[in-house]
A and B are shown apart, each in its own frame.
Chain A
Amino acid sequence: MKEQADPMAAEMPRAVARRTPSPYRWRRATNAIMTGLCALMVAIAVVPLISILYLVISRGIGSLSLTFFTHLPAPVGETGGGIGNALVGTLYIVGLACFIGLPFGIGAGVFLAERGDGKLGHAVRFTAEVLSGVPSVIIGVVAYGLVVMPMHRFSAIAGAVALGILMVPTLARSTEEMVRLVPRSLREASLALGVPAWKTSLFVVLRTSLGGLVNAALLSVARAAGETAPLLFTALNNQYWNFRPDQPTASLTVQIYNYAISPYEDWHQKAWGAALCLLLLVGLLSLTARALAGRRQTGPA
């Protein structure tokens, strides 16, 4: 340690930084470049999202009205009318799909988490992974063969089956993850109290991971609500209100498709409105999922 202060020492760093290319300077420059690049990437990624939102909102907002939400579509050539039946139809079909998709999806997930280490578990997991990669239109074709053909008609239930099948793989994987997060000690505590294994799985493990499960379920429902291809040849479409499961039913996605490919400007307008409607619906579901996840304890503290 030098006793005397070197008057030059304080000046050195600044002078050096300014005049001589030191490694420090290069590092700072590289850091700045990389940060800039990252920001650019983020912008590129966000731009489509923002542009979609902007486009849909700006073009669709004009169509929104009480009539729009509550009226049936007007006959060809006439103006007016709304997408009431499509909106309700989506809710109806997706609702039915939940009855199929949620139990199987969550059930499979619980099975994989609790007993998924054997051969059957591996097989199920593999199947789920493959299924999640299958294009949704293929799922629609499968549902066509399974439901539409025997019934000799298009129906809401066929659409629900298609969407339900779609929900299962991702829901199963998410459920498995959430349930695996529950620590073994909680399971053991329950078993040590003399609670049978199945009750432990249901009332302790599942209850603990409930928050995460609700989150996963809402997200898979949101995804199903936005599907078009599977509904094209299962639920088809309907110009009128329908609450019977064995009849073709209108849905937002199919309606948007039909309106968009039509030659009528009015219908194009309605398509934008419907798109905005769908966006709001899906957005609402996602935000609810997020809000619930934030509030509840999804797993052990």
Chain B
Amino acid sequence: MTAARPKLEVEKLNAWFGTTRALKDISLGVQARSVLAIIGPSGCGKSTFVRCLNRMHELTPGARSEGTVLLDGEDLFSGGMDPVRLRRRVGMVFQRPNVFPTMSIRENVLAGLKLNGVRGDYETIVQKTLQQTALWDEVKDRLGESGMRLSGGQQQRLCIARALAVEPEVLLMDEPASALDPIATAKVEELIDELKEHYTIVIVTHNMQQAIRVSEYTAFFYMGELIEYGTTKKIFTHPERRQTEDYVTGKFG
């Protein structure tokens, strides 16, 4: 483990939906170019946590968050941080593929760039990101077709390509493979393995085996609290907390 500064530092993060507290004093660090898996039973706050990291949480009516989240030392919640700009540095992939239905595959990939008026060599970007997501060979002859014609697994990979085209530093993935069949899941996991060379990844998953396969670090959440955080190996071979042990061995949740 390096002693370098973590890419993301979270300190006493709290989040509310109206008066209900969803996150209680979460503090952890995410190492650069590594994969952090967030596990925990339904409703434990995993998705809420991740949505705080790119300030999407506050978009829900009545939702708010407090605390410190540092990205390379910069406070995400400070007045000077523009949430829109932040989301270009911290990208997100959702549980269900959400390809833009009226746009072609090419337009989907470039959506984040074109809508923000970012100029660039579009064709190269399209090819590069689709190659990164192992989609290029399957769609290179039909980039002008609607994105909705692809299978579920392909659509999800297209969404990942779209997120990568914006060149974020951190990629948040909220159960990205839960709606996919096993082969598509395997492809997404392989993709994550390759992506972690360049990106810092935080993945929410309810699939323990997936967490073991893809991540170096794991954080276990329960009822809005961070119960345990450590290397994936430790969490799944000899965790320190009884609750963690009980959860990963399937005694609850």
Contacts and interface: CB of A to CB of B under 8 A. Distances in A.
Interface in A60-75: none
A191 B115 contact: no
Given A199-B115, A203-B115, A191 B102 contact: no
A130 B111 CA distance: 40
Contact size range, A: 20 to 34
A194 B116 CA distance: 8
Contact of A194 (B85, B94, B100, B148): B85
Interface string B80-112: 000011111001101010101111000000011
Nearest to A183: B98
B116 A192 contact: no
Nearest to A202: B115
B115 A192 contact: no
B250 interface: no
A200 B87 CA distance: 14
**Dominant secondary structure of chain A at its interface with chain B:** helix
Contacts of A183: 98
B61 interface: yes
B165 to A, nearest CB: 9
Interface in B60-93: 61, 84-88, 91-92
Contacts of B102: 207-208, 210, 297
B59 A190 contact: no
A210 to B, nearest CB: 7
Given A192-B163, A193-B91, A186 B98 contact: yes
B56 interface: yes
A301 interface: yes
Nearest to B166: A193
A35 B74 CA distance: 72
Given A117-B61, A196-B84, A301-B101, A190 B92 contact: no
B91 A189 contact: no
A292 interface: no
A144 B163 CA distance: 54
Contacts of B91: 192-194
Contacts of B94: 185, 188-189, 192
Interface in B156-213: 159, 162-163, 166
Nearest to A117: B61
Nearest to A192: B92
A191 B85 CA distance: 11
Interface string B145-162: 000100000000001001
A197 to B, nearest CB: 8
Interface of B: 54, 56, 59, 61, 84-88, 91-92, 94, 96, 98, 100-103, 111-112, 115-116, 148, 159, 162-163, 166
Given A194-B116, A300-B101, 11 more contacts: A189-B94, A192-B91, A193-B87, A193-B115, A193-B162, A193-B166, A194-B84, A194-B91, A194-B112, A200-B115, A297-B102
